[in-house]
């Protein structure tokens, strides 16, 4: 366990700005590559038809639930493991890692069964009168669900690396997985060279192949390079206390992301009352906005173990400085995203073979929705801070209010006015509510948990 001390010193002693950058930048770069894959995937699919693009776009809620479960469980493991290392409880750190892997495996099995059996029903509920979209979408979702172990194991083992400060390795795992996807996407979609033409199913196969490659790399890096934790089946027993602690932090994160799936599903139903092109526009937006949000999420992933570690070590100044720098960097990233969306929305949609109809809906959509970016960076960082301190319930409340209490009802009411362009204003309206509530919870958490660290 002698190797644990230097890592502990890094999180507790290295200058905060340098620490945050070294922890976050590798993950930000990896997530930018992941965002590039998300966009390239849809660009290739859009060359088949708008129906093909719609099929992939409508799968977003289910894929988002997979990511919600993987990342939410990982957030809980990350926070408990980093806090244990800060308290120098190495035995609990090992047990936490082992339980994280078990939970990821269980979730994978559930999705293999449920996702494969229910895929067609999911599409029939939304677009029963569009048989091409149903067929494309069913193939896509069944493949992604049946081979979902790739994403669950990739995320979990990457979180174990992040928990001990080894974020550089996660840059390689995510980056290689995404590059693998980008290379095989056109080969399998269009049947280039010796590969069969699988169309939308080819996009799904390329996706799961990349996830499996990334998962294998993450497992190997943990085994050979992550000496602060040791995974072993010897003497393993399920510990209810550890699972509860993981999900006290992780469950709100899971619910928050799952709420995003419910919001997108609801928005699709509202937009389908205008035209199916509007749902394709929403799908393109969520692909493109990942270029802006993914770096912020990478920043958050670097912040969470730093905050949790220094909270466990009772180092208030370092904790607060991490949050302040996180907000600053997140706001800068979001402002850059806002500038791009305001200036070249038409160029963005032309990447997706957009016709005049899609451009007429999509250009104002990007300009209006991106107004919410002004506040979103701050809100996302505060949410990560609350999760790192074990106050994930408050993050969950903010997410519920923003997406279900404000955004969806606002979109429904604006849709009643008969203009699809008005529906997009529900996004900045909801973000204003999130800003107010996040600030209230930040003040309460400071008084309850951070201020007493001086005593």
Does the pLDDT value for residue 207 go beyond 50? yes
Confidence of residue 334 (pLDDT cuts 50, 70, 90): very high
Mean per-residue pLDDT over the chain, rounded: 89
pLDDT tens-digit map of 21-61: 988 888 788 778 777 877 888 889 999 998 999 999 888 88
Annotate 360-403 with DSSP letters as a single string: HHHHHHHHHHGGGHHHHHHHHHHHHHHHHTT-HHHHHHHHHIII
DSSP 8-state class, residue 449: I
Task: Give the rounded percent of residues in the chain with a pLDDT score beyond 70.
Answer: 98
Does the pLDDT value for residue 120 go beyond 90? yes
- Cα separation, 18 vs 320, in Å, equals 15
pLDDT tens-digit map of 152-173: 999 999 989 888 878 788 888 9
Confidence of residue 4 (pLDDT cuts 50, 70, 90): very low
Q: Which positions ≥6 away from 432 have C-beta within 8 Å?
A: 375
* pLDDT given at position 302: 86
* pLDDT given at position 274: 95
More confident residue, 228 or 317: 317
- Cα separation, 83 vs 89, in Å, equals 9
* pLDDT given at position 268: 93
Q: Which positions ≥6 away from 350 have C-beta within 8 Å?
A: 359
- Cα separation, 138 vs 282, in Å, equals 20
Residues 202-230, mean pLDDT to the nearest whole number:
92
Question: What's this model's pTM, rounded to 2 decimal places?
Answer: 0.78
* pLDDT given at position 260: 85
* pLDDT given at position 42: 85
Annotate 52-86 with DSSP letters as a single string: HHHHHHHTHHHHHHHHHHHHHHHHHHHHHHHHHHH
Residues 396-407, mean pLDDT to the nearest whole number:
93
For the chain, the farthest-separated pair of C-alpha atoms sits apart, in whole angstroms, at 68
* pLDDT given at position 77: 92
Quickly count: other Cβ atoms within 10 Å of residue 206's Cβ: 25
Least confident of 253-257, 361-365, 432-436: 253-257
Pick the closest to residue 119 from 99, 101, 97, 143 (CA basis). 143
* pLDDT given at position 5: 42
Phi, psi of 95 (to 5 degrees): -65, -35
């Amino acid at each position: 366990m002698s190797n644990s001390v230097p890592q502990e010193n890094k999180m507790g002693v290295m200058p905060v700005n340098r620490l945050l950058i070294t922890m976050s930048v590798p993950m930000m770069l990896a997530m930018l590559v992941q965002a590039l894959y998300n966009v390239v995937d849809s660009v290739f699919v859009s060359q088949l038809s708008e129906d093909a693009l719609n099929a992939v776009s409508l799968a977003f809620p289910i894929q988002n639930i997979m990511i919600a479960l993987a990342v939410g469980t990982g957030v809980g493991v990350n926070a408990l493991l980093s806090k244990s290392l800060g308290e120098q409880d190495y035995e609990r750190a090992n047990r936490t890692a082992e339980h994280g892997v078990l939970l990821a495996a269980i979730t994978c099995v559930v999705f293999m069964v449920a996702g494969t059996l229910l895929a067609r029903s999911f599409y029939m509920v939304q677009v029963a009168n569009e048989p091409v979209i149903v067929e494309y979408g069913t193939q896509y979702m069944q493949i992604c669900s049946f081979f979902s172990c790739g994403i669950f194991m990739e995320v979990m083992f990457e979180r174990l690396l992040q928990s001990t400060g080894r974020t550089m390795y996660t840059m390689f795992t995510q980056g290689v997985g995404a590059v693998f996807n980008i290379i095989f996407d056109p080969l399998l979609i269009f049947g280039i060279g010796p590969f069969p033409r699988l169309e939308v199913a080819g996009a799904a196969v390329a996706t799961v192949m990349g996830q499996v490659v990334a998962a294998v790399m993450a497992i190997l890096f943990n085994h050979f390079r992550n000496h602060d934790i040791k995974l072993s089946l010897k003497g393993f027993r399920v510990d209810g206390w550890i699972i509860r602690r993981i999900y006290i932090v992780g469950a709100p994160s899971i619910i928050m992301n799952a709420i995003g799936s419910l919001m997108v599903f609801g928005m699709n139903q509202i937009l389908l009352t205008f035209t199916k092109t509007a749902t394709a526009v929403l799908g393109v937006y969520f692909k493109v906005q990942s270029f802006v949000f993914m770096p912020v999420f990478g920043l958050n992933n670097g912040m969470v173990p730093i905050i949790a570690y220094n909270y466990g070590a009772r180092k208030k100044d370092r904790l607060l400085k991490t949050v302040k720098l996180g907000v600053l960097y997140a706001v800068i990233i979001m402002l850059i995203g806002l500038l791009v969306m305001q200036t070249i929305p038409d160029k963005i949609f032309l990447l997706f073979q957009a016709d005049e109809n899609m451009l007429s809906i999509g250009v104002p959509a990007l300009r209006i929705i991106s107004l919410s970016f002004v506040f979103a960076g701050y809100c996302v960082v505060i949410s990560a801070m609350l999760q790192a301190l074990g106050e994930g319930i408050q993050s969950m409340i903010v997410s519920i209010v923003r997406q279900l209490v404000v955004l969806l009802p606002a979109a429904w009411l604006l849709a009643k006015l008969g203009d699809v362009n008005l529906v997009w204003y529900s996004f900045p309206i909801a973000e204003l509510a999130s800003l107010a509530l996040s600030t209230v919870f930040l003040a309460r958490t400071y008084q309850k948990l951070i201020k007493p660290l001086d005593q």
